[in-house]
Amino acid sequence: MSATMLPIVDHPDAAKPFVNDPNRSRWHDQALWFVRSKRDKQAHSIPEWEYLRDCASRIKTHTIANLAGYLEEFEKNATARGATVHWARDAEHHNEIVLNILRQHHTHRIVKSKSMLTEECGLNHYLEANDVEVVDTDLGERIVQLRGETPSHIVLPAIHIKKEEVGDTFHQHLGTDDGASDPSYLTEAARSHLRDKFLAGEVGITGVNFAIAETGGIVVCTNEGNADLGISLPKVHIACMGIEKLIPRQRDLGVFTRLLARAATGQPITSYTSHFYGPRDADSELHIVLVDNGRTRLRESEQFRASMHCIRCGSCMNTCPVYRRSGGHSYRATVPGPIGSVLSPTRDAESYKSLPYACSLCGSCTDVCPVKIPLHHQLLAWRGELVGKKLLPWSKRMSMTMASRIFQSPRLFNFTGSVGRTALRVLPRWMTHNRFNKWTVARDLPEPPKETFHDWYRRHRSK
Amino acid sequence: MLFLEPDCMNQPLEADTTARRAILDRLNTRTISAPPLPDVDPSQVITYDDPVQEFLDKLSLVGGEATFVDAAPQAEEVLRQIPVFREAKRVVSVFPEAVPGTMSTDGIDDPHAFATIDWMIARGEFMVAENGAIWIDGNTLPHRVLLFIAQYLAIIVSQSQIVSNMHQAYDRIENYDGRYGVFVSGPSKTADIEQSLVLGAHGCRKLQVIIVRD
CATH number of the CATH domain containing A159:
3.40.50.10420
Residue A184 forms part of a structural domain: no
CA angle B109, B110, B116 (to 5 degrees): 125
| Same domain, residue pair A152 and A79 | yes
Query: Given a cut of 60, is residue B12 above it in pLDDT?
Result: no
A-chain CB neighbours of B112 within 8 Å are: 199, 233
Contact A253/B170, CB-based, under 8 Å? yes
Q: How far is A420 from chain B (nearest CA, A)?
A: 47
CA distance B92 to A433: 72
pLDDT value at position A3? 39
Reference B180, options A217, A269, A115, A258; nearest CA is A217
Q: Which of B19, B148, B166 sits opposite A229 (nearest CB)?
A: B148
Contact A258, A45 (CB under 8 A): no
For residue A145, what are the CA distances in angstroms to A76, A114, A164, A170, B123?
37, 12, 17, 12, 37
* Chain A residues 128-157 within an 8 A CB cutoff of chain B: 129-131, 137-140, 143, 156-157
CATH for B46-212 (3.40.50.10420, 3.50.50.60, 3.40.50.150, 3.40.50.1000): 3.40.50.10420
Contact A248, A63 (CB under 8 A): yes
Extents of the domains making up chain B: 46-212
Backbone angles phi, psi at A66, to 5 degrees: -105, 35
Query: Given a cut of 60, is residue B14 above it in pLDDT?
Result: no
A75 burial level (CB within 10 Å; 0-12, 13-18, 19+) = buried
For residue B31, what are the CA distances in angstroms to A59, A125, A167, B108?
17, 37, 53, 52
| Same domain, residue pair A56 and A154 | yes
Best residue of A223, A288, A295 to probe chain B, by most B CBs closer than 10 Å: A223
Chain B: residue whose CA lies nearest to A139: B192
Q: How far is A204 from chain B (nearest CA, A)?
A: 13
pLDDT value at position B9? 45
Q: Which of B35, B133, B165 sits opposite A58 (nearest CB)?
A: B35
Residue A342 belongs to domain spanning: 316-388
Q: What is the count of structural domains for chain A? A: 3
**What does the pLDDT look like over A147-190, one tens digit per residue?**
999 999 999 999 999 999 999 999 999 999 999 999 999 999 99
Ranges under pLDDT 50 in chain A: 1-4
Count A/B contacts: CB-CB distance under 8 Å.
Answer: 259
Which positions ≥6 away from B87 have C-beta within 8 Å? B118
| Same domain, residue pair A342 and A424 | no
CA angle B204, B189, A263 (to 5 degrees): 140
For residue B158, what are the CA distances in angstroms to A286, B61, B139, B161?
33, 21, 18, 5
- Sequence length of chain A is 463
pLDDT value at position B5? 42
pLDDT value at position B16? 65
Chain A: residue whose CA lies nearest to B114: A233
Q: Where are the beta strands (DSSP E) in A264-328?
A: 272-276, 285-291
Strands in A203-206's sheet, in edge-to-edge order, are A84-88, A285-291, A236-242, A203-206, A109-112, A133-136
CA distance B9 to B21: 24
Residue A31 forms part of a structural domain: no
Contact B27/A269, CB-based, under 8 Å? no
Contact B201/A187, CB-based, under 8 Å? yes
Q: What is the dihedral of CA B78, B79, B81, B85, to 10 degrees?
A: 180
pLDDT value at position B143? 97
**Residue A280 in contact with partner chain B when CB distance is under 8 A:** yes
CA distance B130 to A272: 15
**Residue B26 in contact with partner chain A when CB distance is under 8 A:** yes
For β-strands B133-137 and B180-184, DSSP reports them as: antiparallel
Per-chain mean pLDDT for chain B: 93
**Residue B14 in contact with partner chain A when CB distance is under 8 A:** no
DSSP A147: T
Q: Which residue has the higher pLDDT, B69 or A461?
A: B69
- For residues B131-158, average pLDDT: 98
For β-strands A285-291 and A84-88, DSSP reports them as: parallel
Residue ending a domain, among A353, A388, A423, is A388
Q: How far is A87 from chain B (nearest CA, A)?
A: 5
CA distance A454 to A460: 10
